[in-house]
Structure 1
Amino acid sequence: MPYDTVRGTDPAVADALAGERERQNDTLAMIASENHVSEAVMEAQSSELTNNYAEGYPGSRYYGGCEYADEVEQLAIDRAKELWGAEHVNVQPHSGSQANMGVFLAVLDPGDKILSLDLTHGGHLSHGHPVNVAGKTYEVEQYEVNAETGYVDYDQLAAKAEAFDPDIIISGYSAYPREVEWERVQAAADSVDAYHLADIAHITGLVAAGEHSSPVGTADFVTGSTHKTIRSGRGGIIMCDEEHADDVDSAVFPGLQGGPILHNVAGKAVGFGEALTPEFEEYASQVVDNAAALGERLQERGLELVSEGTDTHLVLVDLRPSHPDTTGKDVEAALEEVGIVLNANTVPGESRSAFNPSGIRAGTPALTTRGFDEEACRTVADLIYEIVDAPHDESVEGFVDQKVDELTAEYPLYD
């Protein structure tokens, strides 16, 4: 039985851990930022490296006893360089948000200017939202997607850059289903002598596998998460040219944190190694194919997708045209009751509160890890629609709940 050792010491925690394992096995994880890592990554992340402190970097630590810590971190660095073609990589950030802060600390001063995508249009909290430390530390202006097309308005971005004169422009998004045109953002940054930070948190795996174009070599800085489409355990990463290496490393340590979470770095190393295999390329391709199938079926059933489709791992549904009285939170709660877990999300031209928005966001990374193909994802789309259309109908709920049970049994996650 899992967690037997924990149970002998702390049954309450063991019960919660076992419950979470069961929950993941028996539900469909469709939050676009979530995935299921391999048993190897989980084992590495629970290793004895949790006992090491290891402030500093490989070959230059402030503590002794770091021989194997150095080996593991260097493996993570070298594999990341191979995956993304970066000159310099820092694998120590604890999250994608912390990776972004590392870049800001490396090249910005308090009061400097950031130009980023508005949160309600698919941007991210760490890109300068007023409640975030970035928004409290820097002056922030935001661009938008075209509310009619759902695509980033690159002309507006360039015009805002000329008017605002930012010190850094951020591309890469949290709820944007289309491929990002990195070169157009870079051109806008060049025109005002600004840095360009490409945040690929959601698409790290798609970029690594060639399913999405790469900003590495175009943007000055590339940040990402390591637990979404790359399946390498929770954490962050920063990539840059050698000219910025010292500034980035100093910003991460000692600027933002002390000792790295080395057992997480071990998970990154193992996950990056898995991502270097042909099987991972097949996986990433299937993620994109599954998202396309999911989106197409939702459209066939009458739901409207922002930008009318997807190029990536996620779809963003605007509920207003088909179900104007239904909110994203209504759907999120109703779907969770039947074992489908996704999140409410704002949509371009949002007319409701961000706490109870008009859209839902659904992703396919975790389903694909379980083995779902396009046909299975079309089935899931049908189930989602049934709940959207009749969220409180007990017969519909019973039918969908049974189908979810069948799907999780057909595509088991854990033995």
Structure 2
Amino acid sequence: MTHNATRHPGPRSQPRTMGVEEELLLVDPTSGELVPVGPVVVARDVRTAGTPSDADGADAGTPGHDGADGADRPGTPLETELQQQQVETATPPRTLLTDLVDDLRGLRRRADAAAQEVGARVVALGTSPRPGVPVLTPVTRYRAMAQLMGVTADEQLTCGCHVHVGVESDEEGVAVLDRIRPWLAVLTALSTNSPYWNGADTGYAGYRTQVFQRFPTTGPTDRFGSPEGYHRLVADLLSTGALVDEGMMYFDARLSRSYPTVEVRVADVCLQPEDAVLVAALSRGLVETAAAQWRAGEPADDVPTPLLRMASWRASRSGLTTELVHPVHRRAAPAAEVVQDLVEHVRPALAASGDAPWVEQHVEEVLSRGTGADRQRRVAAATDDDLAAVVRDAVEVTVR
């Protein structure tokens, strides 16, 4: 069945909005060890902002709102996360990449200022280089998750970067989800920033992906086909009784429960805020490209989900250092080639939004200097594997 212009909206006159959420670790500024002060940090931020916080963790993934906090306090108040060694930030919805860069820098400084009040610092790392025991945030939802998930929740201490991109409807959103699936692993590779786990190098560039995929709903999905197919799957998963709520639909990409957005969830939190914005720009490019394909009646590519899992594993394992699974011909290819092919895939969308020059420049920078994982390993090599030094360096990069 083909789609036609009378059934689907035409091309957008304005760029789609984007919002970015970042999960950050809380660490001792000298030893680099994790410190369980998240609820205190959030409370201090709320006191300063003078606005309420979602302290019970009811919605694990929504973008911030415009206007509440003023230019120096972008986004919503900080929020707690599953473990007390974490906080989460959220930008307002934006259309300009430069605004997102400014927002992320401001939110990181804001979170760090609240953390410093209790002797801690924030750091944008996907996992902690130093070993530590996660401490559950004592709210109803997280207690229920811990009871259901057992050791999977007990050991879960990872930080991701989630990108929300605006869509017109559930129909458009599901059409996008069905068409962006082959490309998401490339975003994982670009963002890899979690090589260490329990004080040791895992051999992975993005070990967060491996840890987070222990949850039963995490990872790539089959094509949904329609909004009805998407919501039917969500209802069937909830009916198993193995999930607390719809917020535990940890698909690589999903429809937001609270906003008219597609949420892309495959990235590690990035060490440098510009890398997070690069992931956001490419995510918006993927969404716009997929929506255009849908409007033109182009069917979604039926890549087998096990192959997508392999692509995700490959991206998590080596980041940009060796090869990735190419989304089109589905064979191993040099990582730089695959990244450049992603840029070419979304180039018309990047050109339409004005993002192309910025994205091209920052893709070249990341390919040249490497990801956060590469920097962490360079610091470790230069300090005789001093993981405290790795964390201290990452703190400075996070907030500078």
Same fold (TM over 0.5): no
**Rg (Cα) greater in structure:** 1
TM-score, with structure 1 as normaliser? 0.28
